Structure 1
Amino acid sequence: DEKEVFIFNKARLQSNAPPPPPEQVDIPDNLEPPSPSSSHDPHPLDDALDPALKALPSYERQFRHHYHRGHAIYTGTSMKFEHCERLLREQMVQERAVEVARCNLDQYYRIINQNYGDFMKRYMQQHRMHSDLLANFGKDVEKLRSIKLHPALQTANRKCLLDLVKEENLRKSVENCTSSHKQFENKMSQFKQTFGDVKRRVEDLLTAGPFLATKNLEQAIKEHHRYINEQKSIMQSL
């Protein structure tokens, strides 16, 4: 089974990468022959006394000039047409490569989007839990303060459950946790914004139309092929 293999240049795929240089097409522009001249192409009948005979070399030179000029035009047109067909084939390969890249992007985007959704679901659960712990810290401290120890466990410094821990250390930990909680919220806000931008750009790319309108271009080239046939027919008639 033969499979298509496309090699992509990562540097060219960057959003800030410059466009590739224009395609260089070398077509000679000096194919047409020079105008006929009796001095450059002498003929024995040039000195004929009969005007009709004397005109024959001029007619012959003019005919040859028209023939060579027509051949030059036909050759140039054929070369241009071959370049067009070659560039069309290359564009069709590019179009196929873009379509393959689009399919790969869609596949990876689905995976990333699913992972993002799972992560955000877990994050929201943890965020709610941590927010509740921080918000209810004061109430929890008062509950610990209100629960008295068994008389057999009480001492001069231990009367309630709160006395079993260092309240100052708890409050310091809550202060640090609150600061970290807010910092993480800011990071998550930036993360959601970044993912939202990526999501919008990816979805715009996936829903965009064809990258290259090769179908229309292919049809136009086929329609213009008749000019080649017309020129070829004219050359054959000459």
Structure 2
Amino acid sequence: MRLVMWDIDYTLLSAGSVARLAYAPAFTAVTGVTWRQMAQPGGRTDRDIAVETFAMHGIDDCEPHLERFFTMFAAEFAARRELLLQEGRVLPGAREILVELSTRPHIVQTLVTGNIRAVALDKLSAFDLAGLVDFDIGGFGTEDVVRATLVRRSLERAAAKHGRPFEPSEVLVVGDTVHDVNAALANGVTAVAVATGGTDAATLAAAGAHVVLDDMSDIDAVVALLAGVH
């Protein structure tokens, strides 16, 4: 078997400005604090981003606020579906690769994403991709500030669902940032980096990615790589 863990933003799709626009009203609704700015997202988990964002607004202990904040953030994001469809787009090759891999019985596809689950579902649903991955075994951004923990949680869920642990050689993490690469390496699994975000190929290679792709436009080659076809 093969377990492919997909990042979302700038790996599978671009969601435009929707998350940033949803963040501000959710934050103020929960805290009553006037919005100033959001921490730099860049491949981090939503929990990590929230901790820094709250601290930037003078709230050093955000834990009492997080559950309600994530609920409000999800609602604000969902309310901007039309803007998501206007600004967002699936990256070249992503849809075709997801579809092709979904037809292969030895391949399990899931998400390891910094997004909270509700937002991840909204993003993929907006572009008719949600049915191609198994959300139940994914790792999501509410779970930890460290992305490697998300990979570990996904491995545990996949093992429980499929009745056996996946060997490290069977698991691939696909993402566009050094955070994705580090999360894969910390769990001893294969890091496939795609230079479709803000990190160039040389930086991803220097971080230790096993494979670095400029993009996923060569659909057959990427499918062969992820499916273990040589």
TM-score when normalising by structure 2:
0.16
Structure with the largest fraction of strand: 2
Query: Highest Rg: 1 or 2?
Result: 1
TM-score when normalising by structure 1:
0.16
Structure with the largest fraction of helix: 1
